[in-house]
Amino acid sequence: METDVAGTAQVNPAHALGLRIEARYRHVQATAMADIPICNPALGIAATGFRTHGDRAFGIVTTPWFMKLVAADMPDGRPAAPAAVGTTVRIGLPAGEVDFIAGELDAVGRVDSCSLFSPVFEFATMEAALEIAEEAICVFFDPGALEPPPTPPDAVNRRDLLCGRFFRGEEASE
């Protein structure tokens, strides 16, 4: 598997980092999470849609116990601003600001996460979970996913209100 990761790194470093994170969670599944009741036996481990944004890699990690949007420092990139493990870090993505929990992942380094589903019993199959993961990562990186802000209400002055101009949509008096 190391050969696959090294070959992929030349093409897409964010994807290669996603594969490293996936491999680390496979180890966690085989050790610390083995036989834990919060795990959905229908799911495996997958890294979906990893891409570079700024100096970090972003993607969705699906495991039998969670689905998270993660932000990881690129191995050769500038590290994220220091943050204590467990604190909230707000990161601007194309679709808006997202709150992440700062963390560290053994053998990977700084990995901040935003929980999407935990636990993940609503998924009957890995295919269903991966479909949602693919849709989710697209939404986070689609500026069109932002809802436009509501338009402010028209200014109302007492004279227009009392004269009925406001409700008839007539031009307000100056």
pTM, two decimal places = 0.78
Is residue 170 domain-resident?
no
Is residue 130 domain-resident?
yes
Is residue 68 domain-resident?
yes
Is residue 18 domain-resident?
yes
- How confident is the model over 27-39, as pLDDT tens digits? 999 999 998 999 9
Is residue 87 domain-resident?
yes
Is residue 172 domain-resident?
no
What is the residue range of 75's domain?
A: 2-145
Q: Structurally, how many domains does the chain consist of? A: 1
- How confident is the model over 129-168, as pLDDT tens digits? 999 999 999 999 998 876 666 676 666 666 665 666 655 5
CATH number at residue 48: 3.30.1460.40
Is residue 152 domain-resident?
no
Is residue 123 domain-resident?
yes
Contacts 24+ apart (CB under 8 A), 42-47: 42/123, 42/124, 42/125, 42/126, 43/120, 43/123, 43/126, 43/129, 44/126, 46/22, 46/126, 46/129, 46/130, 46/133, 47/18, 47/19, 47/21, 47/22
- How confident is the model over 118-137, as pLDDT tens digits? 999 999 999 999 999 999 99
Who has greater pLDDT, 88 or 149?
A: 88
